[in-house]
């Protein structure tokens, strides 16, 4: 029997303990004031963390791991005699040494490959997964800051903004976020979503539209990006390395600052084929939900699927337009209902086109 300290993994306070080496396990009898208990450590789940002449530290189980610390030389010797061949007593260095120089070199290259893979793919992927779990309140607050930052570089078209918001108010929308649309003056044919429910529409893309169903499809598409958090995920993925540095330096609150300081990245975000397909479907579903002509999505895509210079921004960030048109047409073939006129939407559309 040996004396040592027992740590239960839940607190940092060590408790006096008596350690007994049984045939297939280690028994730990601990006492803390009036409380006491017994732990049974099976050999297969024991991990060695420190093993020298002065101290032996062993850990047990999964997180949070229990541990014992024994300051007796005899304990180390008795462990080696009683449990000779046990996995937790094997030397990591000896295992590596047996592989030889070639084995060490291969192992080193594999570790380097893993490190490179983690840096270029692992970190962005983890950042994207974390973004999917941002609280809605946090994402909304982040979106407000991003929107305010971006609007500093634009001139807002107040009349068109009012008309589009009136159109939006006439739609039945299912979203976790309150949608806030702003129309800005810009010759680039484009529209994009900002985290937290914000949508920015260039007046140039509105000028190209010939039917209000195209506007409904566009809004549904961008709202889809918002609802499925595509902008949040893509933005955190592209800024993942800066965010990692904030965490490493202990500035967790700086993550939001990093994103806001790089608000301009939203303008050039490229979504995956799956994200675009899902948002196209969301745009189509919005038209169907409001009994509008579902072909509005196709008309919009066909109008944008040209090579004119002013369309290049939209095409560059919304790739594979021809494939997406074909996918939309295939979905529309399955839809069977007669579109219903909507005076409120038509009034807002007329107001938009009159401005």
Per-residue pLDDT of 38-62, as tens digits, reads: 999 999 888 876 666 567 888 888 8
Do 159 and 288 lie in a common domain? yes
Residue where a domain terminates, one of 90, 119, 148: 90
Residue 248 lies in a domain: yes
pLDDT higher than 60, residue 63: yes
Residue 312 lies in a domain: yes
Place of tokens 């509008």: 292
Do 86 and 143 lie in a common domain? no
Do 241 and 329 lie in a common domain? yes
Do 140 and 247 lie in a common domain? yes
Residue 20 lies in a domain: yes
Alpha helices in the chain (DSSP H): 73-82, 92-117, 123-131, 136-151, 158-169, 203-208, 212-227, 230-238, 240-248, 254-261, 273-289, 295-304, 312-317, 321-332, 343-354
Residue 229 lies in a domain: yes
Do 326 and 221 lie in a common domain? yes
Do 78 and 142 lie in a common domain? no
With the CA atoms of 256, 258, 259 and 263 taken in that order, what torsion angle do they form, in degrees rounded to the nearest 10? Answer: 130
pLDDT digits (tens, 9 = 90+) for 145-181: 889 988 988 999 999 999 999 999 999 998 989 999 9
Segment 29-34 mean pLDDT: 88
Residue where a domain terminates, one of 29, 63, 90: 90
Do 141 and 17 lie in a common domain? no
Do 292 and 176 lie in a common domain? yes
Do 45 and 147 lie in a common domain? no
Place of tokens 């007046």: 203
What is the C-alpha to C-alpha distance for residues 56 and 42, in angstroms, rounded to an integer?
17
Do 161 and 252 lie in a common domain? yes
Question: Which domain, by its residues, includes 274?
Answer: 136-354
CATH number for position 35: 2.30.29.30
Q: What per-residue confidence (pLDDT) applies to 128?
A: 59
Alpha helices in 3-85 (DSSP H): 73-82
Handedness of CA 229, 232, 236, 237 (dihedral sign): positive
Residue 103 lies in a domain: no
With the CA atoms of 313, 314, 319 and 325 taken in that order, what torsion angle do they form, in degrees rounded to the nearest 10? Answer: -150
Residue 292 lies in a domain: yes
Over the chain, what is the mean pLDDT?
79
Residue 296 lies in a domain: yes
Residue 116 lies in a domain: no
Residue 216: pLDDT band by 50, 70, 90 thresholds?
very high
Question: Residue 28 burial (CB < 10 Å; 0-12/13-18/19+)?
Answer: buried
Do 143 and 35 lie in a common domain? no
Structurally, the chain folds into a number of domains equal to 2
Residue where a domain terminates, one of 26, 56, 90: 90
pTM assigned to the model: 0.59
Do 83 and 145 lie in a common domain? no
């Amino acid at each position: 029997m040996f004396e040592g300290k027992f740590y239960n993994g839940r607190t940092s306070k060590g408790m006096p303990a008596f350690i007994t080496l049984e045939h297939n396990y280690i028994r730990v009898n601990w006492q803390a004031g009036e409380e006491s208990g017994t732990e049974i450590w099976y050999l297969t789940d024991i991990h060695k963390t420190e093993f020298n002449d002065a101290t032996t530290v062993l850990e047990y189980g999964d997180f949070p791991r229990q541990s014992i610390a024994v300051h007796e030389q005899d304990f180390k010797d008795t462990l080696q005699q009683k449990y000779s061949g046990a996995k937790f007593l094997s030397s990591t260095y000896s295992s590596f040494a047996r592989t030889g120089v070639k084995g060490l070199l291969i192992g080193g290259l594999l570790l380097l490959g893993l490190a490179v893979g983690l840096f270029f793919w692992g970190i962005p992927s983890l950042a994207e997964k974390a973004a999917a779990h941002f609280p809605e309140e946090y994402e909304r607050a982040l979106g407000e800051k991003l929107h305010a930052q971006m609007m500093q570089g634009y001139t807002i078209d107040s009349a068109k903004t009012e008309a589009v918001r009136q159109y939006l108010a006439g739609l039945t929308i299912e979203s976790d976020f309150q949608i806030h649309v702003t129309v800005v003056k810009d010759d680039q044919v484009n529209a994009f979503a900002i985290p937290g429910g914000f949508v920015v529409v260039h007046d140039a893309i509105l000028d190209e539209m010939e039917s209000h169903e195209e506007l409904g499809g566009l809004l549904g598409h961008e709202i889809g990006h918002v609802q499925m958090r595509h902008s949040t995920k893509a933005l955190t993925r592209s800024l993942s390395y800066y965010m990692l540095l904030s965490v490493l330096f202990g500035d967790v609150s700086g993550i939001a600052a990093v994103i806001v300081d790089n608000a301009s990245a939203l303008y050039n975000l490229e979504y995956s084929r799956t994200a675009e397909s899902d948002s196209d479907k969301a745009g189509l579903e919005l038209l169907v939900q409001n009994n509008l002509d579902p072909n509005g999505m196709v008309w919009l895509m066909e109008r944008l699927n040209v090579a004119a210079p002013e369309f290049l921004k939209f095409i560059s960030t919304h790739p594979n337009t021809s494939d997406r048109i074909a996918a939309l047409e295939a979905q529309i073939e399955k839809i069977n209902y007669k579109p219903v006129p909507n005076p409120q939407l038509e009034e807002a559309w007329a107001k938009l086109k009159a401005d």
